[in-house]
């Protein structure tokens, strides 16, 4: 495991997303299993762990706090504020609420500082300068060490960064969802020296190659049940992407997941993907991506094929997409 830099914060070149352990893509895992998975990740060199107030809500932060307490000084913990937690996707990033969330997250995480505090989604009712100012106050108090933004537009990144340096930007990015490359977000991060953290680096599980048109999702426990990309028709229509991954995987003695993660790492040196799993076998498979190095010729060949493929279905449902900041 090598290190990478998100702004001026050093982390492992692959992180661990904890969200799915507490639900979202199926029912929550057993707490002991979650703790075991996160500690195994650290045993294998992962030092960057991602959670949020809204996951659970609250229970995922508690899980991460419990799992990492014995090794707290050896890891970096990222968490997030910004949802109203009122049963909708409404946002609330008023400065006084940000500060209250920070205090509550510190308790749940069993720690005295949050290494990276993201605004989870941009709140159109609160100027981003006020959000950045609130986090700046928390940084001056030592309760937060670094500021991040999730799903922001380039304009929002610039406005926030002018008030308080942004360390990392988090957005969905994978071989299936390449919009950060075309909407200016990645270019803005590169220009300003900001790290980039792709969530959903395995296409919310699709790029593992273990789904097809017969795959079904439980609407009670799995967010993907309402996402257009995960309808039976689109699961089948997007299989040419899986075929490309399988061809490369066969050539490299790897798996589709490992090629997908290696592709992301090869895009930019300031990219740190955070694949999430509750399963230690899947964790080990993800770590195997570190053994796969794609050359510039590989990347050009993959890009030539991807550019001819249509990705069928939007990445989230309209309710979730409404919270993505796409201002010019």
Active site members: 55
Neighbours of 327 (CB within 10 A): 10
Structure tokens at 112: 């005295």
- Name the residue among 219, 216, 176 with its Cα closest to residue 199: 176
β-bridge pairing 16-17 and 48-50: parallel
8 Å CB contact between 206 and 199: no
DSSP H stretches of helix in 56-151: 59-68, 95-108, 128-140
CB 266 within 8 A of CB 301: no
Two tokens at 140?
Answer: 């001056």
Buried b (16+ CB within 10 A) or exposed e, 164-203: bbbbbbbbbbbbbbbebeeebbbebbeebebbbbbbbbbb
């Amino acid at each position: 495991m090598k290190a990478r830099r998100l702004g001026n914060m050093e982390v492992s070149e692959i992180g661990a997303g904890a969200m799915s352990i507490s639900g979202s893509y199926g029912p929550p895992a057993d707490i002991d299993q979650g703790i075991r998975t996160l500690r195994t990740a650290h045993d294998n060199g992962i030092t960057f762990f991602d959670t949020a107030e809204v996951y659970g809500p609250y229970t995922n932060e508690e899980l991460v706090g419990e799992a990492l307490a014995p090794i707290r000084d050896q890891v970096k913990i990222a968490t997030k504020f910004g949802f109203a937690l009122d049963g909708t996707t409404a946002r609330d990033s008023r400065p006084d609420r940000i500060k209250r969330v920070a205090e509550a997250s510190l308790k749940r995480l069993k720690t005295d500082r949050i290494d990276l505090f993201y605004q989870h989604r941009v709140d159109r009712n609160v100027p981003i300068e006020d959000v950045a100012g609130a986090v700046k106050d928390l940084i001056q108090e030592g309760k937060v060490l670094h500021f991040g933004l999730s799903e922001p537009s380039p304009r929002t990144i610039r406005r926030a960064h002018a008030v308080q340096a942004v360390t990392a930007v988090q957005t969905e990015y994978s071989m299936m969802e390449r919009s950060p490359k075309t909407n200016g977000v990645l270019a803005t991060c590169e220009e300003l020296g900001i790290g980039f953290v792709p969530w959903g680096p395995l296409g919310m599980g699709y790029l593992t190659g273990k789904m097809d048109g017969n795959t079904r999702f439980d609407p009670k426990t799995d967010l993907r049940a309402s996402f257009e990309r995960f309808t039976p028709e689109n699961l089948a229509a997007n299989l040419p992407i899986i075929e490309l991954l399988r061809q490369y995987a066969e050539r490299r003695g790897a798996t589709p997941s490992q090629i997908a993660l290696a592709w992301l790492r090869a895009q930019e040196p300031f990219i740190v993907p955070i694949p999430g799993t509750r399963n230690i076998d899947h964790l080990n498979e993800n770590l195997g991506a570190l053994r796969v190095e794609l050359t510039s010729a590989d990347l050009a060949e993959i890009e030539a094929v991807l550019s001819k493929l249509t990705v069928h279905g939007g990445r989230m449902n309209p309710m979730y997409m409404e919270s993505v900041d796409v201002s010019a």
